[in-house]
Structure 1
Amino acid sequence: MFFRHLLKLSCAIAGLGLLTSAYATSSSQTHRPIGFIAEQELRHISTYYPGRMAGSPAELMTADYINQRFKQMGYQSDLRDFKTRYLYTTDDGKKNWHNVTGTSVIAVKPGNTHQQILITAHLDTYTPMSDSDVNENLGGLTLQGSDDNASGVGVLLELAERLRNVKTNATLRFLVLSGEEIGNKGAADYISRMSSEEKRNTQLVINIDAVITGDRLYFHSGKKTTHEVAGKTRDRAIALAKRFGIPASVNEGHNTTYPKGTGCCSDQVPFDNADIPVLSVEASNWNTGRGDGYQQTSDTGKFPGGSSWHKPQYDNLKYLDEHLPGRIKARTRDTVKILLPLVEELAGK
């Protein structure tokens, strides 16, 4: 425990230097074009904090940096540690539990009512769960996780920056969660600490995960989200995208496991299972592969298997900028452009 506190202090000192160098020019960047903040945060996190595996020093340093960013914006913000574990498989087939301490970041802007909207994105990169993963360097120090999920964190931070002085009826909570890559553990930890009243008062959870590599933006509701809420959230997001001329879709339900309009497999799932309304945001192509959203784009030489997920050689700034030129700028802009007015509408300006 002493070592972890010492590491936190070291992270704070190191992170402060990075924060100052990147953001010393202005305490507010809302005068910047839409998407500028999200892109800069994506690039900053990718460059300075690769290998953000759950429980790693890199993840803790990232969490500290994000916590400082929220405080700089004027939010009430804190780090939240939680203990968890995952199964690791060796080459001889043996499975062992690996214990880790994840660190999430929680920032809040109080509203005028007890109602709240949670905006979430995970900060961890893929954690190797087998000797085979280690041999392929999955989750290793070279994994920048630019798409998965520095992109989601960047968009979340821009939303926080632009909403910080907007008066809302609903309280806004920004959750940058650990442990998504080992089974949505940060989301599960957060839900386990919610009271029944808090769950009832949660209007919506907006989860943002990997918005760069995929062919187009997708907006999904939870399987348990009512049609009424889906109309005000998912369908409204699609309408805003259409207004702005941004290509966006819903899952058409080609895979029966994922009914039309619903998504898959990120931090929104535990909230959906807890009967909390969900809107998930990602970039993919649900019309390819098995129709489950895992294949993000065409299976070409640029992205073998049609995906950059968990692949250090593809999910990094240099590769994405070379093979998808201009995509990072365009997609961060488009995601913020849709979500900002949507959150303002839902929160009640």
Structure 2
Amino acid sequence: MKSLISSLFILLISSTAFAKDSTPTESFAWQKLVELTDETIGIGARPAGSDKEKETAAWIKEQWQTLGYTVNEFPFEFTLRKKSFTSSNLSMVIKGQSDKTIIIGAHYDSTGEKQGSLGTTDNGSGVAAILALAKRLKGQTLPYTIKLIAFGAEEYGLQGSKAYVGKQQESLENVIGMINLDTIIGGDKLYIHNAHEKSYKCNAVENPKYNSSSVLRDGLLTTSKALFADHSHMLHPAYDGYPEGQTGSWSDHAPFACSGMPIAYLEATNFAINGHSGNDGYSQTTHSDVWSCYKEDGKTACDRDSEKKWGMIWHTEFDRLDKLTTLFKNKLKHQLIQNVDVLETFVKQADKSI
């Protein structure tokens, strides 16, 4: 796998050459984000196991089929508070020159609807990215086969990804890495992580072979730096409990790391903030509207005992387009396009000798 980094090209052209959705108001990815998460014209909140989540699965399937892809659907059951629910994973394949496969996945359910969240950043943004990738990569010559997966029921214990890996809904024999997209817009900074060096709990995977390799992360980081220079994705610095560039098990990359493959996790947040539980990335922004009171000195709340908001967008009243666009203007659109640019460039240039 180390050849993934060493064989990556060094781009000598500007990032604008790859900005196929560079006009924010005309971005395909942004259009799909609006269709999915604006409740006035689209779907809105999508709690796991709900009719809205099932509507979303049907919508994603239709989007891919409209582009000419064959879509596979894998239903699964899960239990929440002693009640049984159903959800499903969806996958599609873009055939490459090699059968070796890179999975790029994003969950499509949301949570926090009682607080007003419509799941725009978490994780409408990831879904919009995999839809845009399907469009951009159509008919392209790729060194590897790319499999795009939309996971259900992530917010209730990674149910979709655990079912996909643990129940072997599709073979992982040729899979050489997994890229997870979860909340890739909204935060102050764009990060790429690899799995934590300390093994996750791998109860959902039989005979786990944990892999914390940074090779996929580093390859994507190289691509982002070549495309976007000083505005590229970054590694978070080392903080207590989180070595540089490493992440926890709270999203769909975890079962794949447990299954023995390198993962990379793209995320927009701000690890520099000393949030409710420290520098763990759960506080996403220093924007004053998303805090009761934020102080730059110490990068934390003015009063940690009374703080209510903690700079958190996901699962809150702020995770909806009307509030997000008021707070961040075009920043969200640019972040979304940057993520898609990096992913497209990476999968088109990765060395097929991995």
Q: TM-score range by the shorter chain?
A: 0.7 to 0.9
Which residue pairs with 1:134 in the alignment?
A: none
1:38 is the counterpart of 2:38: no
1:82 is the counterpart of 2:76: yes
1:302 is the counterpart of 2:293: no
Which residue pairs with 1:24 in the alignment?
A: none
1:314 is the counterpart of 2:318: yes
Cα separation, 1, equivalents of 2:84 and 2:120: 26
Q: Please give the secondary structure, in 2, of the residue aligned with 1:180.
A: coil
| Shift, 1:242, TM fit | 4.1
Percent identity between the two aligned chains: 25
Q: Please give the secondary structure, in 1, of the residue aligned with 2:344.
A: helix
Instruction: Say if 2:143 and 2:348, in contact at 8 Å, map to a contact too.
Output: no
Which residue pairs with 1:260 in the alignment?
A: 244
Which residue pairs with 1:329 in the alignment?
A: 333
- Cα deviation, 1:161-206, whole Å, max 9, x if unaligned, reads 101211223221110111110011101111124389x434212111
| Shift, 1:238, TM fit | 4.4
Instruction: Say if 1:76 and 1:109, in contact at 8 Å, map to a contact too.
Output: no
1:249 is the counterpart of 2:223: no
1:147 is the counterpart of 2:121: yes
Instruction: Say if 2:195 and 2:264, in contact at 8 Å, map to a contact too.
Output: yes
5 Å-filtered alignment, 1:63-212, equals: 63-87=57-81, 97-126=82-111, 138-140=112-114, 142-194=116-168, 198-212=171-185
Q: Please give the secondary structure, in 1, of the residue aligned with 2:288.
A: coil
Structure 2 residue ranges without an equivalent (≥5): 1-18, 197-210, 292-308
Distance change (3 Å), C-alpha of 1:211 and 1:226: closer
| Shift, 1:232, TM fit | 2.6
Cα separation, 1, equivalents of 2:287 and 2:310: 5
Distance change (3 Å), C-alpha of 1:142 and 1:61: farther
1:236 is the counterpart of 2:222: yes
Distance change (3 Å), C-alpha of 1:298 and 1:237: same
Distance change (3 Å), C-alpha of 1:141 and 1:56: farther
Q: List, as ranges, runs of 4+ consecutive aligned residues in structure 1 with deviation greater than 4 Å.
A: 227-230
Q: Please give the secondary structure, in 2, of the residue aligned with 1:114.
A: strand
Instruction: Say if 1:39 and 1:332, in contact at 8 Å, map to a contact too.
Output: yes
Instruction: Say if 2:194 and 2:246, in contact at 8 Å, map to a contact too.
Output: yes
Q: Please give the secondary structure, in 2, of the residue aligned with 1:294.
A: coil
Which residue pairs with 1:57 in the alignment?
A: 51
| Shift, 1:282, TM fit | 0.7
* Matched letter for residue 112 of structure 1: Q
Which residue pairs with 1:5 in the alignment?
A: none
Structure 1 residue ranges without an equivalent (≥5): 1-29, 88-96, 127-137
| Shift, 1:32, TM fit | 5.0
Distance change (3 Å), C-alpha of 1:255 and 1:34: farther
- Cα deviation, 1:237-289, whole Å, max 9, x if unaligned, reads 4423543x424221212122x22111232111111122211010010011112
Cα separation, 2, equivalents of 1:155 and 1:271: 20
Which residue pairs with 2:212 in the alignment?
A: 225
Instruction: Say if 2:28 and 2:132, in contact at 8 Å, map to a contact too.
Output: yes
Cα separation, 2, equivalents of 1:61 and 1:141: 21
Cα separation, 1, equivalents of 2:78 and 2:288: 37
Between 1 and 2, higher relative CO (CA 8 Å, sep ≥ 6) is seen in: 2
- Cα deviation, 1:20-71, whole Å, max 9, x if unaligned, reads xxxxxxxxxx975477111111111002112211111101111101101101
Give the length in aligned residue pairs: 295
Q: Please give the secondary structure, in 1, of the residue aligned with 2:131.
A: helix
Which residue pairs with 1:342 in the alignment?
A: 346
| Shift, 1:145, TM fit | 0.7
* Matched letter for residue 287 of structure 1: A
Cα separation, 1, equivalents of 2:132 and 2:225: 22
Cα separation, 2, equivalents of 1:324 and 1:297: 11
* Matched letter for residue 120 of structure 1: G
* Matched letter for residue 286 of structure 1: F
Q: CA RMSD in A?
A: 2.4
Which residue pairs with 1:214 in the alignment?
A: 187
| Shift, 1:141, TM fit | 9.5
| Shift, 1:113, TM fit | 2.6
* Matched letter for residue 267 of structure 1: D
Q: Please give the secondary structure, in 1, of the residue aligned with 2:126.
A: helix
| Shift, 1:302, TM fit | 3.2
* Matched letter for residue 266 of structure 1: S
Instruction: Say if 2:270 and 2:281, in contact at 8 Å, map to a contact too.
Output: yes
Q: Please give the secondary structure, in 1, of the residue aligned with 2:105.
A: strand
Distance change (3 Å), C-alpha of 1:222 and 1:200: farther
Cα separation, 1, equivalents of 2:102 and 2:66: 21
Higher normalized helix content (fraction of residues): 1
* Matched letter for residue 301 of structure 1: D
Q: Please give the secondary structure, in 1, of the residue aligned with 2:339.
A: helix
